[in-house]
Amino acid sequence: MCLGENTPTVTLDNSEALFDVLAGINSCGYDTELGVSHPLRQQIRSEVTKAIEASPDATQSHDLLCGFYNQHQQSDDSRKLAQFVSLALYLTPPPELSLKAKEAEIPPDAVAVIGIVPLLQKFARDAGLHGIWERHKQAYSTLADRYHAPVAKMLFDTEIYLKLPSAGYLGRSFTVLFDPMGAPGQTNARNYGSDYFVVLSPGAESDIRMEQIRHTYLHYLIDPLVLKYPSSLKRMDSLLEATSNAPMDASFKGDISLLVTECFIRAVEAHTLGNSKTPEADRQQAVQASVAQGYILTRYFYDELTAFEKGDAGLRNVYGEMLSRLDVGKEKKVASTVHFAAKADPEVVRLATPPRARYCKRQNNTWPTETRQGPRNWRNRRSTKRVAIAAALCSSWRRWRQPAAIWTGPGPTSNRRYKWPRNLAC
């Protein structure tokens, strides 16, 4: 369901592949926040249980499915669900339920549970999950319809504040998926290159975490601006040293583009906190809390946005100027006085598409710079801007390959513009 003519790439929808995955793990004991879930969750669980009990084949395939599920449990409830959401978004619709991409291009948390796919395919057939989906498909659509107005208003207000219409973002999409089979208190957001997804599970009170949708939507709007100013970002690299003791995720400490983007988004959220009657002290408190977690440029961008609100220019026209005006030396001194908090809020958006290894560097340590299919003399055709972009992509790939990291921040949204040589490797 599209939200309107002015936002043709923003959609509220549901997914049968996601339904099958969540129905499967629910039948195997995924009970997180079951007591506060939407009534549909318990109803569907009961129907799946009856289908299993009525068929020996379904019972057998269910046992195999649950054996795999139990062997791949995560101690953290959010990660327990997240790995299966990542996998579900890479599956084609039933009855195939096959991978949309090669295993090498699938996010690590999904790769860890990729073995469940053939088991799920058989279980879905034996238990008749498609029939259960068809019976409740209208109820799923009703959920999406219920949240259409508040989500549309939030997205519209965000665009108005930034003076940055999403209709100009050709070739990119933002999709909100609703499925009550998950935990209502958890939001899963993914960035698949130029496509963004938010997976929400409405609870018994039918409330959704609108702030999480807005946070992801801000990434959708802001992420493409980052790669346009690699030189400005490069001179800020030294700021990363000031965040070494911060409690935020390690990925922000190793990539200035991720840090700058997150700081800017948090500054926007502080400015738009509450309503027109919200005291300025509350907004300042939100800024300070963000800085204390390690997002040391939140204050700078908050002040910049104060001036931005008074002007007529849109963010696309002034974002570069905001970056160029930043005094690195001054911000380093300010950051050195920050007393970091003991812990940080978890980041919402996870990078779900790793840059391919060939986007990193050539075996002879030279960087690709040609953007067309023309000359292959890559060593002699260099561009500072494209070298910086290639370096950023390689940095993202290295972060992606660290199994202990949480995959956050923007993906390489402009990869399609480049014709890279084939002999690249990290």
* Phi/psi of residue 382, nearest 5 degrees: -120, 150
Residues 302 and 365 in one domain: no
- Report the b/e string of 134-150 with b at 16+ CB within 10 A: eebeeebeebbeebbee
Closest to 260 (Cα-Cα) out of 281, 284, 235: 235
The confidence score (pLDDT) of residue 3 equals: 56
Residues 190 and 64 in one domain: yes
- pTM for the whole thing? 0.79
- Residue after which a domain boundary falls, among 336, 368, 394: 336
Residues 154 and 80 in one domain: yes
Residues 176 and 264 in one domain: no
Side-chain-side CA neighbours of residue 33 (13 Å): 20
Cβ atoms within 10 Å of 77's Cβ, excluding its own: 15
Residues 391 and 281 in one domain: no
Residues 370 and 279 in one domain: no
Closest to 369 (Cα-Cα) out of 357, 355, 356, 381: 381
Tell me, yes or no, whether 209 lies in a domain. Answer: no
- Residue after which a domain boundary falls, among 336, 365, 393: 336
Residue 306 has pLDDT above 90, yes or no: yes
Tell me, yes or no, whether 21 lies in a domain. Answer: yes
Tell me, yes or no, whether 416 lies in a domain. Answer: yes
- Report the b/e string of 38-60 with b at 16+ CB within 10 A: bebbeebbebbeebbeeeeebee
The confidence score (pLDDT) of residue 205 equals: 76
Domain that holds residue 79: 10-200
For a pLDDT cut of 70, what percent of the chain falls above it?
Answer: 78
66-105 pLDDT, tens digit each: 999 999 988 887 788 999 999 999 999 999 999 999 998 8
Look at 183 and 383; give whichever has higher pLDDT.
183
25-52 pLDDT, tens digit each: 999 999 999 999 999 999 999 999 999 9
215-249 pLDDT, tens digit each: 999 999 999 898 899 999 999 999 999 999 999 99
The confidence score (pLDDT) of residue 125 equals: 98
The confidence score (pLDDT) of residue 167 equals: 63
What secondary structure, in 3-state letters, does the chain show?
A: CECCCCCCCEEEECCHHHHHHHHHHHHCCCCCCHHHECHHHHHHHHHHHHHHHCCHHHHHHHHHHHHHHHHCCCCCHHHHHHHHHHHHCCECCCCCCCECCCHHHCCHHHHCCCCHHHHHHHHHHHHCHHHHHHHHHHHHHHHHHHCHHHHHHHHHHHHHHHCCCHHHCCCCEEEEEECCCCCCCCCEEEEECCEEEEEECCECCCCCCHHHHHHHHHHHHHHHHHCCCHHHHHCCHHHHHHHCCCCCCHHHHHCHHHHHHHHHHHHHHHHCCCCCCCCHHHHHHHHHHHHHCCCCCHHHHHHHHHHHHHCCCCHHHHHHHHHHHCCHHHHHHHHHCCCCCCCCCCCCEEECCCCCHHHCEECCCCCCCCCCCCCCCHHHCCCHHHHHHHHHHHHHHHHHCCCCCCCCCCCCCCHHHCCCCCCEEC
Tell me, yes or no, whether 325 lies in a domain. Answer: yes
Tell me, yes or no, whether 265 lies in a domain. Answer: yes
Residues 266 and 128 in one domain: no
Residues 272 and 326 in one domain: yes
356-369 pLDDT, tens digit each: 333 343 333 333 33
- Residue after which a domain boundary falls, among 280, 307, 336: 336
Number of folded domains that form the chain: 3
Residues 36 and 138 in one domain: yes
Confidence of residue 191 (pLDDT cuts 50, 70, 90): confident
How large is the angle between the packed helices 256-271 and 210-226, nearest 10 degrees?
A: 130
Q: In what order do the strands lie in the sheet with 349-351?
A: 10-13, 173-178, 195-200, 188-192, 349-351
Residues 164 and 57 in one domain: yes
* Phi/psi of residue 93, nearest 5 degrees: -65, 155
Tell me, yes or no, whether 5 lies in a domain. Answer: no
94-140 pLDDT, tens digit each: 999 999 999 988 988 899 999 999 999 999 999 999 999 999 999 99
Residue 400 has pLDDT above 60, yes or no: no
Residues 27 and 174 in one domain: yes
Tell me, yes or no, whether 152 lies in a domain. Answer: yes
For residue 14, which amino acid is it? N
Residues 189 and 319 in one domain: no
Tell me, yes or no, whether 205 lies in a domain. Answer: no
